Amino acid sequence: MARVAKTCVHCDEYHDVEQGVNWKCSDCNTLNTIKSAVEPKHYTDLTISPLEYITGNEGEFTWCIGNVIKYVSRYKRKNGLEDLKKAQWYLNEQIRLLEVDTHENKTN
């Protein structure tokens, strides 16, 4: 089976593990499951995870806005200012796309 680099959902340390299997972090002893890789603790500690919110409102959010929700939701628990800057980048990109679309519709 192929080996891949994975990050522990608890301590954020990278490990070389088998792809597609559960694994135990050698640094903090946390069991990392396939589900925990998709929904790590910095999301599941919230009353409603960003994934639940975004998928529960199917069709309401663009890719960019979904990322804004994700990064704003986790910034206190994961990367602080870096996550807010990522959210800002995606929001600015969504604004740019809307402005381009609005301009193209006016010229057609």
Looking at residue 37, what is its pLDDT? 57
Least confident segment among 2-16, 46-60, 76-90, 93-107: 2-16
Dump pLDDT digits (tens) for 39-71: 677 777 778 888 888 888 889 999 999 999 999
- Distance of CA 27 to CAs 10, 13, 37, 68, Å? 10, 8, 17, 31
Residue 5 has pLDDT above 80, yes or no: no
Taking residues 14-25, what's their average pLDDT?
Answer: 73
Taking residues 87-107, what's their average pLDDT?
Answer: 92
Looking at residue 38, what is its pLDDT? 60
Looking at residue 6, what is its pLDDT? 73
- Residue in this structure with the two tokens 């519709």, named with its chain if needed: 105
Dump pLDDT digits (tens) for 75-89: 998 999 999 999 999
Cα–Cα distance for residue pair 70/52, rounded to 1 Å: 11
